[in-house]
Structure 1
Amino acid sequence: MTDLTPTPNTPGLHVSKPSPSAPARGSAICHCGATATATGDAQVRALVEGYTANHGPAHHKEQGRS
């Protein structure tokens, strides 16, 4: 299986939840250099929302790309 964890060379967002009773885990790395990790369903949800609003796709919107 391929490791999908983001790195500075392959920025992005990775979320895992191995089972319904296990806490979610997430990590994000943006091409601008910002990084974040989270553990727990609510914290990972906030990480995803923050990354989506302020990094990754948001950088493309700022540059006039959709």
Structure 2
Amino acid sequence: MPRKMPADLYPTEESPGLRVRGGTRYSSSQGDYVCGGCGAEDHANGDANVTRRVEDYTNNHGPAHRGGRR
């Protein structure tokens, strides 16, 4: 299986999902999602905003559309 390059890890309409990158000393954390169920997408910078985006995706999008936890 070919290894995915970082640019391939961003969610897209063709490959929806959630991507979170932790912050470093030189950059803040980042999060992106594209929902495969309804097409919603969002981006966040900073720990608090990324945490809210992950909660939103988990509770209202990806897993929720697949019959998972709500």
CA distance in 2, matches of 1:21, 1:45: 19
After superposition, the CA RMSD in angstroms is 1.8
Between the two proteins, the alignment pairs up a number of residues equal to: 63
Is 2:52 the partner of 1:46? Answer: yes
What residue ranges of structure 2 are gaps of 5+ in the alignment? none
TM-score, length of structure 1 as denominator length? 0.82
Identical-pair percentage: 44
Which segments of structure 1 move beyond 4 Å, counting only runs of 4 or more?
A: none
What residue ranges of structure 1 are gaps of 5+ in the alignment? none
C-alpha offsets along residues 29-58 of structure 1, whole Å, 9 cap, x if unaligned? 001110000001000000000000000001
